[in-house]
Amino acid sequence: MKPKSRPHDPLKLDMAAFAAEHGEMAGDWPLASMQRLAESAVPEASTDALVHWQARGELRPLAGGAAEIWLQLKADVRLALCCQRCLAPVEETVALDRSLRFVPDEQQAAALDAELEDDVLSLERVLDLRELVEDELLLALPLVPRHAHCPQPLPLAEAQEPADERPNPFAVLAGLKGRGGAGAG
Ligand SMILES: [Zn+2]
């Protein structure tokens, strides 16, 4: 006997039923429950981060009595990411607001996904809402997180262009000479 589907279990969502009743759900998940996303953040600065999320099912009627199945998904989380300039944590709000369409099988999903701007998913798989939210948040992460103004002045060597990172041999030599002169004097 098949277990009865539970459209209000946020983790395993029966998408067709959820859309049919225009279901709405919202909640918070601790960042720690999303391992891949947690690994993208600075661990000690993000331990209490919460992912706020909101999901809404929708049936969009088509001519002839059929209907399209849609999921409106919103989520946001405040993460401490590693600034790519000074390497200190930088707080960023990562947010998404997406419309996802569901079709009966993978083949249709693949064909439509290539054709439409909206994401198209297949109803064949039981939808894990948390996994979906995590996937979408990972895609929404900034590519190069960094402070608008880094809190610490950068050490001189790092403030220069990467091409200048190697010490100039003449400068090193001058430094040695200077120390030698001071010691001799
Ligand atoms: Zn910075």
* 144 alpha carbon – ligand 1 mean position (Å): 11
* 153 alpha carbon – ligand 1 mean position (Å): 9
Task: Tell me what pLDDT residue 167 has.
Answer: 58
Mean pLDDT by 10 residues, the chain (185 residues): 50 88 95 93 84 96 89 96 94 94 89 85 86 95 94 63 53 54 42
User: How many angstroms separate the Cα of 180 from the Cα of each of 47, 75, 170, 171?
Assistant: 51, 62, 15, 14
* 145 alpha carbon – ligand 1 mean position (Å): 9
* 45 alpha carbon – ligand 1 mean position (Å): 15
> What is the spatial distance between Cα 7 and Cα 9, in angstroms, rounded to a whole number?
6
* 137 alpha carbon – ligand 1 mean position (Å): 22
* 155 alpha carbon – ligand 1 mean position (Å): 12
Task: Tell me what pLDDT residue 185 has.
Answer: 41
- Taking the CA atoms of residue 133, residue 139, residue 143 and residue 146 in that order, the dihedral angle to the nearest 10 degrees is -20
The CA radius of gyration of the chain, in Å to the nearest whole number, is: 26
Please tell me the pTM assigned to this model: 0.73
Q: Are 15 and 57 in contact (CB under 8 A)?
A: yes
- The backbone torsions φ and ψ at residue 23, rounded to the nearest 5 degrees and listed phi first, read -65, 150
Q: Hey, which residues does 89 pair with through a beta bridge?
A: 82
